[in-house]
Amino acid sequence: MSDTRPPQVLPSRKPTQNLEIYSEADIPTERGMMKTVVFRDRRNGREHVALVVGEVADKEGVPVRVHSECLTSEVFGSLKCDCRQQLDRALDFVSQAGCGVVLYLRQEGRGIGLGNKIKAYALQAKGYDTYEANRQLGFADDLRSYDIAAEMLRSLDVRSVDLITNNPLKIAGLVEEGIPVRRRIPSRTEHNPHNVGYLKTKRERTGHLIELFAEEEDSEAKAG
Ligand SMILES: [Zn+2]
């Protein structure tokens, strides 16, 4: 009995300027099967990951999360930010939708690196907010760039995206890099006493569309 099925071939990926697709494999996860595509940046050897659910090539309005690595919350359970929750929500969303991409970019601490992020935390303990602390260390507010994310999406042949984010800068960043954003899917997370200041600062400084504070602001308004 001969097997007449065509040999399985990997979909052809578009060549990209700075990234190469280094490897890919299906990984079973708590949320089902996810294709894990590893991109390597030719400029610095840094590896970024695309977790892909379902068929996304040639599709419009693919749910996409552009997520920056956060070791402290994702691995250690730090409560200083909401990154882990954001990542979990995005993975929930794409797996429930049966289609989507979570880009996991290795740019710790808004691009300043782990060591400097911890330095910034030390400054925050002295009363600086997250942006002041970064500036104190000589870094710009946000060193993340969206060219990597855009290249990854182009390489996956995604036509346009529904972006899972509260951050208008992310939408602008992707659009600037030539990725059409069809709409925004809000990302809801919960605050705790440790990250409430961080979340508020994020909203005030960068116009993050965080809708968690309605109740709290009401009580503040009353108190004020
Ligand atoms: Zn974080």
d(CA 113, ligand 1 centre) in Å: 12
Task: Please state, in angstroms and rounded to a whole number, the distance separating the CA atoms of residues 54 and 94.
Answer: 9
Active site residue 144: yes
Name residues whose C-beta falls within 8 Å of residue 5's C-beta, 6 or more positions apart in sequence.
none
Give the residue ranges of DSSP H helices in 54-82.
71-74
Mean pLDDT of 109-119: 86
For residue 36, the one-letter residue type is T
In the set 58, 144, 147, 157, the catalytic residue is: 144
Among 89, 110, 142, 154, the one annotated catalytic: 142
Query: What gap in Å lies between CA 205 and CA 154, rounded to an integer?
Result: 30
> Which residues, including other chains, have CB under 8 Å from residue 3's CB and lie 6 or more apart?
none
pLDDT in tens, 135-181: 888 887 666 678 999 999 999 999 999 999 998 889 999 999 999 99
The predicted structure's pLDDT at residue 91: 97
How many A from CA of 82 to the centre of ligand 1?
6
- Calculate how far, in angstroms, residue 128's C-alpha sits from the geometric centre of ligand 1: 17
pLDDT in tens, 96-110: 999 999 999 998 877
DSSP character for 18? S
Name the least confident of 9-13, 76-80, 213-217.
Answer: 213-217
pLDDT for res 129: 87
pTM for the model = 0.79
Q: Determine the distance separating the centroid of ligand 1 and the alpha carbon of 86, expressed in angstroms.
A: 9
Spatial distance between the Cα atoms of 135 and 140, rounded to a whole number of angstroms: 6
Ligand 1 midpoint to CA 186 (Å): 18
Q: Kindly tell me if the per-residue pLDDT of 2 is higher than 60.
A: no
Determine whether 142 is an active site residue.
Answer: yes
- By C-alpha distance, which of 61, 34, 63 is closest to 50? 34
